[in-house]
Structure 1
Amino acid sequence: MKILGLIVEYNPFHNGHLYHLEKSIKETNATHTIAIMSGNFLQRGEPALFDKYTRAYAAVKNGVDLVIELPTMFACQSAEIFSHGAIATLNSLNCVDSICFGSEEGDVNILKTISEILVDEPNEFKIYLKKYLDDGMLFPTARSLALFDYINKYNLLDISKEKLLDILNSSNNILGLEYIKSILKLKSNIKPYTITRVQSQYNSETIESNICSATAIRKQLKDFTNIDSISSVVPCNTFNTLKDKINNNFDPMFDDNYFEILSSIIVRDINILNTYFEVNEGIENKIYQSIFTSSSLDDLKESIKSKRYTMTKVKRTLNNILLGITKYDMNNIKNIDSIPYIRILAFNDKGREIIKNIKNNSDVNIINKFSNISFSKDDKIFKTLIDYDIKASNIYNLIYYKNNRNLLKGPMDFYISPKYVK
């Protein structure tokens, strides 16, 4: 058994994801695949289009063998925290041979060389970095120039300054670097691979071919609310899965669906807003002032955004407030070396073989049903992680089930079992 790990959001699973899955299996000679997938809230600080079980089911229908939920506390944060949580989850299984991620660069050796410098921080690199910082440069620029100087001095890569800057500023390269950094920090035996992203840019909002970005698909669904409009850019299994949800009155979710809930929390919690993760540098005052004059979440985000507060920073900050993620809890969690449990969302027969392998090789707690989690609730890390998972699902479902309130039995994590795909 040769197991490939994938770190994904599948929001939704589209033709580009299918290409990546098939190419990754071929590149790594994998016999089995595990996807570590964000749950109901995602890395850019927004809710998923459809619930985690639906997205996991679509993934397995499209060829993934086992889908495991990335704990919410990692799923909604910066590339560094997101990547560390995902790699720590895969490493905790003690049976994953490789990961393969998409990148703009496409050369894993270049990404590995950069990552090794950033993790090891050789003395000369730190001297270069200090010099540029002392010259008044912002940290990202200073770090890029220090990296180039160090690489150039020791002839570690044949790379121009412009290409290095491009690598360090490209979305998927950034995630890839963080994956490799986490592998190095954890001293993991997982081997990293990468394949070049094809055709569409990560944040492109237009559908121009049969492979496009998930951003473009989400925009299409938001603007036209017609599932048929995305039929050419997602596999049939995804299309049929999502169409079935929409036909059963489950609408796609977008961040503005949560504007009223978020507004109430901000007004109620004004005196403790600065206890939430990433609420710093006085942004809480701007958020509070803006909530009274904003008629939508887009209005609120635009009124907060500035040179000091990027849109990404604003979205993640507001999402942390929505989910109640505190600085205290995040600081206790973000650097843990292993994840105490895995939550299985969907699997097939080969997924069952992986689960058996995990049981034989790892001490990680495997959660199939939440009714079985009481045995580890005395573990502080376990309890913190699982409580945020439950809370995030509850907040998500208050809106997601708005057309199906009769189906909302309570905390749905306790009622929904992993999806077995025959």
Structure 2
Amino acid sequence: MNLTGLIVEYNPFHNGHLYHLHKSKQITNATHTIAIMSGNFLQRGEPALFDKYTRAKMAVENGVDLVVELPTLFACQSAEIFAQGAVTLLNSLNCVNSICFGSEEGDTDILYTLAKILVEEPEEFKLYLKNFLDDGMLFPVARGQALYSYIENNNLINNISSDRLFDILNSSNNILGLEYLKSLIKLKSPIKPYTITRIQSQYNSDTIDGSICSATAIRKLLKESSDISQIQSVVPKPTFDNLVDKLNNKFRPVFEDLFFDNLSSIVIRDKNNLKKYFEVNEGIENKIYQNIFTSSSTDELQFSIKSKRYTLTKIKRTLNNILLGITKDDINLVKDISYMPYIRVLAFNDKGREILKNIKNNSDINIINKFSNISHSNTNDIFNTLIDYDIKSTNIYNLIYYKNNKNLVKGPMDFYTSPVYIK
């Protein structure tokens, strides 16, 4: 078995993802694929359009062999924490041969060289960084200048310009790619990294053109229009069929504004305790509380807080942490773990069965098919903390997702939903 890992959100699975999947198999010579997928809340601090089981089902129907959930505490945080959780999970399986991720740069060697410097922090690099910071540069700029000076002085990358280096360091998928590589280096993982250049559509493009567009554009259309036929050209047939099925069964796409009332109640209730939530610092709790009364939507609240000090991305993640009750203490407990205590299976096919068997033979990781089988006597604090947030985030998400289908709710749905098997 030659197993390659993919770190994904599939929100939703589109033609660009299909290209990445096929190309990943090709360049790694993979016989099997496993996707580590965010659950119901995502890395940008937003809810997923559709539930994790539906998105995992789409993935397997489009050719992924096994989809497992990235625990919530990692899934909706910064690139560093997100990557640490996903790579640690893959590494903990003891049978993954490679990882393949998309990037704007497309050159694994260049990204790996940069990641290695950032992890090892040679004295010369640290001296450059200190000098640039002493000159009054902001940290991201100083870090970029220090990297360029160190690389140039040591002839580590041929003919790279400072402009190209800064483009690498400031591009969304490169940032994630660097964090994946940093995590592999820190873990001394044997997993071999590969990257594929993103094609056609830019990450945040909001227009639907040709056969490949960004997930951002698809989400925008689903939010603004009930006519989903417009996305038929940019998603594979299994994705489109699943979306139609969900809409026909009264499930609607989930957007962050739908949680505004819940968030408002929590902010008002926890006014004096907002600082306990992760990313709530530098006085942002005061702006959140002041503006919650005058804002009529999550979007409006976010933009009322946004400033040079508080970026929109930081605000979105901060508000999401408040919504899900994610505390600084709990993030500090899990963020540096070197072994993931469990995997939650979401969907699989026959090759996925083979992967699960391989995992059982090579790792002692707890494979969770049904939450009802979880031992309530488990004394592992990390295991219990991660599981509790997975269950809680699903319950919060389902308050909105099942609004038109309350008759289908049996209780905490993680305990009543089995992994999807695609024959």
Q: TM-score, structure 2 length as denominator?
A: 0.99
User: Equivalents in 2 of 1:81, 1:222: separation in Å?
Assistant: 29
Give 5+ residue unaligned stretches, structure 1. none
The structural deviation recorded for 1:226 is 2.3
The alignment's C-alpha RMSD in Å is 0.6
d(CA) in 2 for partners of 1:289, 1:49: 29
Deviation sequence 1:72-108 (CA, Å, 0-9, x none): 0000000000000000000010000000001000000
Aligned match of 2:358 = 357
Q: CA deviation at 1:225?
A: 2.5
Displacement after TM superposition at 1:374 (Å): 1.3
Q: Deviations 1:40-62 (Å, cap 9, x if unpaired)?
A: 00000000000000000000000
Amino acid at match of 1:185: K
Decide whether the 8 Å contact of 1:376 with 1:382 is kept in 2.
Answer: no
Alignment of 1:10-29 (within 5 A): 10-29=10-29
Residue 6 of structure 2: aligned partner: 6
What is the Cα deviation at residue 262 of structure 1? 0.4
List per-residue Cα deviations over 1:146-197 (Å, max 9, x = no partner).
0000000011002000000000000000000000000000000000000100
Ranges of 4+ aligned residues in structure 1 off by more than 6 Å: none
CA distance, structure 2, for counterparts of residue 265 and residue 225 of structure 1: 31
Q: State the alpha-carbon separation in 2 of the partners of residues 417 and 376 from structure 1.
A: 22
Query: Using the alignment, how far apart are the partners of 1:415 and 1:124 within structure 2?
Result: 56
User: In the aligned structure 1, how far is the partner of 2:338 from the partner of 2:174?
Assistant: 23
Q: Is the 8 A contact 1:204 1:215 kept in 2?
A: yes
Q: Distance in 2 between matches of 1:320 and 1:348?
A: 34
- Aligned-pair distance for 1:377? 2.7
| Counterparts of 2:7 and 2:380, CA distance in 1 | 26
CA 1:376/1:8 → structure 2, altered by over 3 Å: closer, same or farther? Answer: farther
Is the CA contact 1:376–1:383 (under 8 Å) kept in the aligned structure 2? Answer: no
Question: Identity percentage over the alignment?
Answer: 74
Counterpart of 2:105, as a letter, is E
- SS across alignment from 2:49: coil
- Partner in structure 2 of residue 137 of structure 1: 137
Q: What's the counterpart of residue 401 of structure 1?
A: 402
2:219 is aligned with 1:218: yes
How much has 1:376 moved relative to structure 2? 6.0
Q: Which residue of 2 aligns with 1:162?
A: 163
What aligned pairs does 1:47-126 form with structure 2 within 5 A after superposition? 47-126=47-126
How far is the alpha carbon of 1:375 from its aligned partner?
5.6
Partner of 1:232: 233
In 1, Cα distance between the equivalents of 2:267 and 2:33? 41
Counting only pairs closer than 5 Å after superposition, residues 268-347 of structure 1 correspond to structure 2 as: 268-347=269-348
Classify the secondary structure of the residue corresponding to 1:374: coil
* Aligned-residue offset at 1:109: 0.3
User: Counterparts of 1:244 and 1:327 in 2: how far apart (Å)?
Assistant: 39
- Cross-structure match for 2:419: 418
CA shift, 1:17, in A, is 0.1
Partner of 2:253: 252
**Equivalenced residues, count:** 422
Partner of 1:152 in structure 2? 152
Name the CA distance, whole Å, in 2 between partners of 1:51 and 1:338: 27
Q: Distance in 2 between matches of 1:148 and 1:225?
A: 49
Deviations 1:132-153 (A, max 9, x none): 0111111100000000000000
CA distance in 2, matches of 1:44, 1:225: 24
